[in-house]
Amino acid sequence: MKASNYREVKGVPYTRKEYSRGVPQPRITKFTMGDPSGDFEHRLLLVSEKKTQIRHNALEAARIATNRYLQEKLGTNSYFLRILPYPHVILRENKMLFGAHADRLQDGMRKAFGKPVGTAARVGTNQPVILVYVNKDGVEAAKEALRRGAAKLPNTYRIVIEKVKD
């Protein structure tokens, strides 16, 4: 199934893992990178412009792309990166067989609740997805890193730059 099928926010979120058997673990396991105790001057946010669902593997791809660029340009101790949403929503798919004589094996719409295939995070309008703290000399690198991370995510995003302290 394509990831674009899960992009839209439809209906009530299905989040109760204790009622579902076989829910796969989210691909993203690390949500903070860099130096969490650092003293930084600027904060950059990757903010969603529309309400959407982001699959767990898209969050992981955005994390890897952003972190790799920041590490390459700034080093490990001159930034702090955090992924903000957590993929709680369980995605289900009713798998169907296609091909020659597949009609004898499948049940069609009978009991079409679907099996869990992954998880997603629901993100609202103007909700931040990725947060980066850097000093003044790392703002341009952080902007490029967030742009590369946004390319891995569905929907459109904007980068907000805030000065934390003078």
86-141 confidence digits (pLDDT tens): 999 999 888 777 766 655 666 677 777 888 999 999 999 999 999 999 999 999 99
Residue 37 tokens read as 């105790």
Residue range 16-26, pLDDT digits in tens? 888 888 888 88
CA distances from 52 to 47, 147, 153 (A): 12, 18, 10
Find all residues with CB under 8 Å of 73, minimum gap 6, and list them: 138, 141, 144, 145
* Domain architecture of the chain: domains with CATH: 3-10+23-91+115-163 (3.90.1170.10)
